[in-house]
Chains A and B, each alone.
Chain A
Amino acid sequence: MSDNQLHDTLDEAQQTTREARTGEGVDERYNSRLRQAFGDSPFILTKFDAFMNWVRGNSMFILLFGIACCSIEMMHTYATKHDLDRFGAGVPRASPRQADVIIVPGTIVSKFGPRMRRVYDQMPEPKFVVSMGSCTISGGPFQEGYNVIKGVEELIPVDIHVPGCPPRPEALVYGVLKLQEQVQAGESAPVTVKPYELRQFGDLEEDELVQKLAAEIDEDDLVMRYDWTER
């Protein structure tokens, strides 16, 4: 299945994504080449899985990623007093290529959405997402804004939601601990993933720009839409 596969309906899209994340067998994220090399030896595989997940859970490299208000509380979580480092997750990495957890701390707007997706795409597998704050869940207080994307799940799949506006550092610590628990157990979050996908935008008035954009879209291309009222 290609990553860029297009779906006719949202349900279909959610179905395939959920299967990819929570379907039969082990989550694709917990797979690796080394693991495959062990072949069919169940005993080693089980032990190896347990070991790898223990390692992953206890050595989380979180991406240094600030968006809005929540990032201030996130900084407080990293710093003294709350000190996320106590839980083996406190070394923020500035490069997405070195990170395996992304905390999304703040409102995503139209201009930033594609950029965030790009950062997420640059992270190596396995990667996990913690969404921090109401804005990343639904748009929060800015939900009705013309420019605001209604939740980070429109763009990337989320493992842990931490609600609050902003969540206290304790809440974020709890969220990260929950993620660690989950990773250590090799579980996948039963999240409803709403992948963004090519949809009809027939109700747009036809003008030059729309025509130009429509002409340029091809199968491999992805277009973000955030007209959420139809959902």
Chain B
Amino acid sequence: MSLQRQPVGETPDGLDYDALAELLDGYVLDREQHLNCEAFVIRPDDVAAVLSTLRDRAAFDHLSLVTAQEYRDRYESIYHLKKYDDPTQELSLVVPTPRDQPHSQSGADVFDTAIWHEREAYDLVGIEYDDHPDLRRILLPETWQGHPLSLDYNQDKPQIVPLREHANPMEGRTDVADRSDTMFINIGPHHPATHGVLHLKTVVDGEQVVDIDPDIGYLHRCEEQMCQQSTYRHQIMPYPDRWDYVSAGILNEWAYARAAESLADIDVPVYAQVLRTMSAELCRICAHLLAIGTFALDIYGEFTAIFMYAVTDRERIQNLLEELTGQRLMFNYLRLGGVAWGLPEPRAEYLETVRSVMAEFPDRLEEYHNLLTSNELFQMRVLDTGVLPAETAKSYGATGPVARGSGIDYDLRRDDPYGYYDELDWEVVTDDGGDNFSRALVRLQEMEQSARIVRQCVDVLADWSGEREIQSDVPRTVKPGGEVYRAVEGAKGELGIYIRADGTDTPARFKIRSPAFSNLQTLEVLAEGEYIADMIATLGSLDIVLGEVDR
């Protein structure tokens, strides 16, 4: 008998929901069927108890997403749970609360990641979480009136954002307390090292960070609202490009395509899957190159060689993507049931170009390794700084290179296969270090694997003998029903979409699980107690994109 207890509900052929319901006997009010998994309805004051039971007894250690939504008769929070060991084992907890009293217990005691997710739910939908450590607005200004994703929100009502609200809080305060080393620094929202419009309220004691409070929402462009008022078939697809805008567009589009395809039960031809896989991996290389380039920028200074090299390599790959999709950055290439168009003519010539760029790529990577990972100056800056232990990473819901840099072997391309990945020969890169170095190293090695995938896809496409079917038959108007949560491995980690369809041609609720949002949340753990210069390096190695954090 092993010391470790077998998690409840785990059977060789999938999850046994009856056993889980038995484990939660007395808590489960009702059972619903979502398209990706079963959902248990629980009472709003049992949230923490149920979450901790599921985590401790049934090994649900990944709180992927908290979705909040409003119905005509109730509010609802949905906790999407997964396992890091096997993300196909999913369970949703549905927590309904009455309209006149939208109070629900917070899950923040069990999963740290719930802190921000619940703050967002409070901000946009208006559900209040009891016992939440820090329930205030996260994306919108403090002076905002109303909750924009609630049903009775009137968007035409003017909002007031006085300029004074954002005045320098330290202005006029010249009297420094008697030789104190503690001071408050605003880093951002306009700052070259914050990779966009992130605002870090930092308290430093000498050189050490005492307290850090990331203030986000400076790029909250209402992506969820935009998707909720657009039609499934054509109008939503351009928006995912603008979440993770670092040329990772096709990865994001795939997240939406996967969710919508499983919602509307659409098949994708194999040829289109190969095209998707190839273009998505080109996007991943582009995104990681920018991450490496700007990380070097943070470490070394302004516009140095590595940044220029990274941009040069990105240009090469962007040229390939432009030839394929017609755009450099906002590809809008995927469609429900396939892709927009096939390879550019002449096909053989295009594939030869891709092949030659990918053949050179290992040499290019060697150069990055010479300049970065084997460079002593770089090592001094990043080794053993910003250490993220695996358990903390799991509690914060970290995914992608951040989790893999902490030794968590979690990659949806392999664990929850989609596209053409399971036909190809590649490996998931992990590193046990957990520090800034590991995260950079994982990205560099992942690019190698991505190049490997692209090369194999090119071979498959070159040898393709059957019909080149790029789209399956999809009705002009898609009107699905049901609820689904589906995720793909985006450039920054698990990029998931929750859609509730109500039978019309637009989603009733469209919720984005942004990997960068969860990853950024770990900054507080990583930076507090460290030197402020290391905090900048840590932020760079987390590789956030504000378009995805704020949505």
Contacts and interface: CB of A to CB of B under 8 A. Distances in A.
Interface stretch (A14-22, A37-45, A114-122): A114-122
B160 A111 contact: no
Interface stretch (A50-58, A186-194, A216-224): A216-224
A68 interface: yes
Contact of A227 (B157, B195, B314, B330): B157
Given A75-B311, A79-B312, A112-B197, A148 B329 contact: no
A111 B140 contact: yes
A141 B242 contact: yes
A69 interface: yes
Contact of A72 (B145, B158, B247): B247
B22 interface: no
A201 B329 contact: no
Nearest to A83: B308
B238 A147 contact: no
Nearest to A63: B190
Nearest to B312: A80
A225 interface: yes
A166 B546 CA distance: 16
B329 A72 contact: yes
Given A119-B190, A144-B226, A225-B160, A112 B330 contact: no
B221 A148 contact: yes
Interface stretch (A24-32, A174-182, A205-213): A205-213
Contacts of B153: 146
A224 B196 contact: no
A23 interface: no
Nearest to B158: A227
Given A144-B229, A209-B145, A203 B162 contact: no
A136 to B, nearest CB: 12
Interface string A157-196: 0000000011010000000000000000000000000000
A146 B247 CA distance: 26
B166 A115 contact: yes
B196 A209 contact: no
Contact of A76 (B196, B221, B311): B311
Contacts of A78: 303
B162 A221 contact: yes
B158 A115 contact: no
Contacts of B192: 64, 94
Nearest to A81: B315
Interface string B155-170: 1111111111111000
Interface string B311-330: 11011000000000000111
B84 to A, nearest CB: 31
Interface residues of chain A: helix, strand, loop or mixed (majority): loop
A112 B242 contact: no
B156 A227 contact: yes
Contact of B330 (A165, A205, A222): A165
Given A72-B246, A227-B157, A145 B226 contact: yes
Interface stretch (B212-220, B374-382, B492-500): B212-220
B303 to A, nearest CB: 7
B87 interface: no
A151 interface: no
A70 to B, nearest CB: 9
A109 interface: yes
Contacts of A68: 196-197, 219, 221, 242, 245, 546-547
B307 interface: yes
Given A111-B220, A166-B330, A66 B196 contact: yes
Contacts of A114: 161-163, 165-166
Instruction: Name the residue among A76, A78, A113, A116 with the largest chain B CB count within 10 angstroms.
Output: A76
B308 A79 contact: yes
A67 B307 CA distance: 19
Contacts, number: 169
Contact of B328 (A64, A73, A96, A216): A73
B189 interface: yes
B330 A69 contact: yes
B250 to A, nearest CB: 15
A107 B192 CA distance: 18
A110 B166 CA distance: 11
B157 A203 contact: yes
A71 interface: yes
B222 interface: yes
B389 interface: no
A65 interface: yes
Contact of B160 (A117, A144, A165, A204): A204
Contacts of A79: 303, 307-308, 311-312
Contacts of A92: 303
B145 A112 contact: no
A225 B156 CA distance: 11
A111 B145 CA distance: 13
B220 A226 contact: no
A110 B139 CA distance: 10
A111 B222 contact: no
A9 interface: no
A150 B226 CA distance: 15
Contacts of B162: 114, 213, 216-217, 221-224
Given A72-B245, A76-B315, A141 B226 contact: yes
A207 B145 CA distance: 10
Contacts of A224: 160-163
B225 interface: yes
Interface string B282-296: 000000001000000
Contacts of B547: 68-69
B239 interface: yes
A67 B197 CA distance: 6
A141 B238 contact: yes
A117 B163 contact: yes
Contacts of B226: 141-142, 144-145
Interface string B100-141: 000000000000000000000000000000000000000111
17 contacts: A68-B546, A69-B329, A69-B547, A71-B196, A76-B311, A79-B312, A80-B312, A80-B315, A81-B312, A94-B192, A110-B144, A115-B166, A115-B218, A147-B139, A204-B160, A213-B143, A223-B161
Nearest 7 CB-CB pairings of A with B: A145-B222, A69-B245, A227-B158, A79-B311, A114-B166, A112-B218, A142-B221
